[in-house]
Amino acid sequence: MLTMIGKRLMFAIPSLIGVVIVTFLLTRALPGDPAAYFAGPAATKEAVEQIRKKLGLDKPLIEQFFRYTNDLAHGDFGNSLTTGQPVAAEIRNRLPASAELTLLGLIVSIVIAIPLGVLAATRPGSWIDHLCRITTTAGVSLPVFFTGLVLVYFFYFRLGWSPAPLGRLDVFYSAPPTVTGFYLIDTLIARDFEAFRSALSQLILPATTLAIFSLAPIARMTRASMLAVLSSEFVRTARASGLSPTTVIVTYAFRNAMLPVITTLSMVFSFLLGANVLVEKVFAWPGIGSYAVEALISSDFAPVQGFVLTMAVMYVLLNLVIDILYGVIDPRVRLEG
């Protein structure tokens, strides 16, 4: 197992190198001159030149690239031009916010979608099947920012059930001491239950928004793959052997049906990381998505590069987790490792 994980990690190295090169070139190809932006509209030509020199932008591209990779190797992602803060620190601060939101959204959606898909598959044509179809169609056809705004309009503006969509915590509470970076967990560790409730109530709407969006592919895939497995011959054998419906559905059908669902989950997780950018904007969430968008607008290289790199590393890790899960479920995959 360990050798398999090691091997998969080795395979990730070329793609990471590729990402480093592409992000570097892409950010250089972006329109706009960071030196001019940084110097401000009133700066003289000399001042802009000076800043360019200071940033190293006057050097040939290849030299800039080597300096960049050298810095990366030392864990230095550069400084943001707009905030002046080191990018690595900012991402470290903001990543937990995004991760907490995305993971909660994904968990909510799995908890709803998989049982829904299984029930729809075992009772085709029933009301639950139709419910599954309607929910999934609605889920994919509504863009996340729209769902987010509608939720805010009803639950905050009209009903007043949820707090103002302004960040991770109500202004009256102070952030818990950082252990994991996830407020839900950190507040519990600090035994600050008031803050926990506040953090949770802030999370509910954005997480629901993400969950509605990701519900559809998971539920559909679960339903389709359950239907295929339920009509397979080994399920017929299991039925003909008189196994109980629970054993047939859980042990025989569900575990086999999970393989394509896990693939879908990894794709949905990637979509969610992308969808985050919009949701974070709507809910003023201090995550890395909104950070990257702001940096992009101001031609701020370093944060964009840092963001793309972080995402690439996360995808690699995610794929590794998926591969391992596959191996756990399907013995045939284990052999090829």
Partner 1 sequence: MTAQPLLEVQDLTVEFTTRRGIVKAVQHVNISVARGETLAIVGESGSGKSVTSYAVMRILDRAGRIAEGSVMFSGIDVKAATEGQMRDLRGREVSMIFQNPRAALNPIRKVGDQIEDVLRTHVQQAMVSDHGEKAIEALEQVKIARPRERYHAYPFELSGGMCQRVVIALALACNPQLLIADEPTTGLDVTTQKAVMDLIVELTKRKAMSTILITHDLGLAAAYCDRVVVMEKGRVVETAKAADIFANPQHPYTKKLMRATPRLGVSLRDLLPEEEGAASAEPAPAVAAIAEGQQPLLLIEKLVKEYPRQGATATLGKLFGRKPPVEPDVFRAVDGISFSIGHGESVGLVGESGCGKSTTSMMVMRLLDQTSGLIQFDGEDIGGIQPAAFARLPQRSRIQMVFQDPTDSLNPRFTAARAIVDPIMQLGDIRGRDALRARCEELATMVGLPHNLLDRFPHQLSGGQKARVGIARAIALHPKLVVLDEPTAALDVSVQAVVLNLLQDLKARLGMSYLFVSHDLNVVRLLCDRVIVMRTGRIVEEGSSEQVLSDPQDSYTKELLTAIPHPPLQIH
Which residues lie near partner 1 (CB under 8 A)?
Answer: 124, 231-234, 236-244, 247, 251-252, 255-256, 329-332, 334-336
The DSSP code sequence of 258-275 is HHHHHHHHHHHHHHHHHH
Considering the complex, what minimum distance in angstroms separates the CB of residue 317 from partner 1? 25
CB-nearer residue toward partner 1: 36 or 228 = 228
Helix (H, G, I), strand (E, B) or coil at 296: helix
Three-state SS at 167: coil
Name the minimum Å distance from CB 236 to partner 1.
6
Token duo for residue 217: 């592919």
Residue 258 or 316 having the CB closest to partner 1? 258
Structure tokens at 221: 């895939």
Burial of 207 (0-12, 13-18, 19+ CB in 10 A): buried
* Residue 10 or 62 having the CB closest to partner 1: 10
Q: Which is nearer to partner 1, 120 or 308 (CB)?
A: 120
Q: CB of 216 within 8 A of CB of 147?
A: no
Nearer to partner 1, 102 or 256 (CB): 256
Angle in degrees, CA 266, 272, 276, rounded to 5: 155
CB distance 94 to 293 below 8 Å: no
Output the smallest distance, CB 295 to partner 1, in A: 46
> Shortest gap between Cβ of 106 and partner 1 (angstroms)?
24
d(CA 164, CA 168): 10
147: Cα separation from own chain's centroid: 18
Rounded to a whole number of angstroms, the minimum distance from the CB of residue 1 to partner 1 is: 10
Nearer to partner 1, 46 or 233 (CB): 233
Using the structure block, give the residue that is written with the tokens 């590393």: 313
Identify the burial level of 288 via C-beta atoms within 10 angstroms of its C-beta, where 0-12 means exposed, 13-18 middle and 19 or more buried.
Answer: buried
**CB of 224 vs partner 1, minimal distance in Å:** 17
The distance of closest approach from Cβ of residue 330 to partner 1 in the complex, given in angstroms and rounded to an integer, is 5
Query: Which lies closer to partner 1 via its Cβ, residue 130 or residue 236?
Result: 236
